[in-house]
Structure 1
């Protein structure tokens, strides 16, 4: 998975009180139970619904740097779903093309 912040604008879009939001999320969920798999040890504060909604009910912990990598898998799926698909003209499967007929 590519990951990282290289081309992302996400970090710049975080609110100025992000540290306070993280602290509150830790207070609500001190064992960092992953909201995706339900296991303890989530190491990334995740936006449950994609976008810039930083409300506490949209923030919870997920595994990112450790198995089962729930946050990475979720983020990758969201990115792939948002990526525009290249359109191409449909072509028939080679097995469905009629062979040329012989002419006498």
Structure 2
């Protein structure tokens, strides 16, 4: 494994027909064009990635979109940063007053 898959278990979590049926279907449906929409503009560059719009375990076509490599990397980076900040911003539990 190389690149973004290095050290990841995500590939093993995908359904067995991801590469033979699901991924090709989404890329064809979206005409191999990036579907990323930001600031009122669609990217529309050539797409070679299939991304989960919402739940990463929902592999239905309506939860999947074709993205170009750059937009997919930006989206994944944002999601990772949001997850890290959510953990940092979690307040530690208050100690019981009798234990202070």
TM-score when normalising by structure 2 = 0.69
Structure-1 separation of matches of 2:7 and 2:83: 15
Structural RMSD (CA): 2.1
Structure-2 separation of matches of 1:45 and 1:35: 10
Structure-2 residue corresponding to 1:54? 59
More strand by share: 2
Structure-2 separation of matches of 1:78 and 1:50: 12
Specify every segment of 5 or more residues in structure 1 that has no aligned partner in the other structure, as ranges: 88-104
Larger radius of gyration: 1
Structure-2 residue corresponding to 1:10? 10
Q: Does 1:21 align with 2:45?
A: no
Structure-1 residue corresponding to 2:98? none
Structure-2 residue corresponding to 1:33? 33
Structure-1 residue corresponding to 2:75? 74
1:81/1:56 CA distance change after superposition, 3 Å: same
Structure-1 residue corresponding to 2:96? none
Aligned length: 81
Structure-2 separation of matches of 1:7 and 1:79: 15
Shift, 1:50, TM fit: 4.3
TM-score when normalising by structure 1 = 0.66
- Say whether the 8 Å CA contact 2:27–2:47 is kept in structure 1: no
